[in-house]
Amino acid sequence: MTACITEDISITSIDLSDITSSSSISDKVCVHWGCELSSSQTAAVFEAEDDLLENQFFIKTICLSAQASDELHVVAVSDGVGESKPVPIATLRHCMPMVSFPALELMPPVTFNLCSGTGPVFISAQHITLNPTENTEEEEEEEEVEEEEVEEEEEDRGGSF
């Protein structure tokens, strides 16, 4: 006998302004990214919009469409580090239609190429933007207090000689 447990999950929408105004998560923004490679579009490029921020790009899955022909599909990738040649990262066929990557990080710009096969092949990734940490007023005050304490210690040492 099989038991099935269902749970009522309510879904709420999140406004991006709510995310950026929250101090606990304002330093990181995660966005899902995806593309389709096929015989009509054999390449796709992800480029970060802002070079001043730290950008992380993680490939999550590459999967073969159910409509794809039964042939070997090879997906290669190259990233923005140096002048790298495309490296095959997935070889897909109907018997193995999906590859998952727990932590494959690439530096933008990232180029995906369908080297073999006609697709369609779907790529799912996550783009994370890290905002630079800025000193808050509290941190600046703490630094000033620490500097004053160091100065007082130096004065105390200087007066005892």
pLDDT tops 90 at residue 116: yes
Most confident range (mean pLDDT) of 43-52, 118-127, 131-140 is: 118-127
Distance CA 87, CA 149 (A): 55
Quote the pLDDT of residue 69.
92
Quote the pLDDT of residue 153.
75
pLDDT tops 70 at residue 150: yes
Q: What's the whole-number mean pLDDT along residues 55-74?
A: 94
Decide if 86 contacts 76 (C-beta within 8 A).
yes
Quote the pLDDT of residue 149.
78
Which pTM value belongs to this model?
Answer: 0.64
Residue % of the chain over a pLDDT of 70? 73
Between 21 and 157, the more confident residue is 157
Residue 62: count other Cβ atoms within 10 Å of its Cβ: 24
Q: What's the whole-number mean pLDDT along residues 139-149?
A: 72
Residue 123: count other Cβ atoms within 10 Å of its Cβ: 23
Strand-pair partners of 98? 63
Question: Each residue of 80-108: pLDDT tens digit?
Answer: 776 778 999 999 999 999 999 998 999 88
Question: Each residue of 41-58: pLDDT tens digit?
Answer: 999 999 987 666 788 899
pLDDT tops 90 at residue 15: no
pLDDT tops 50 at residue 134: yes
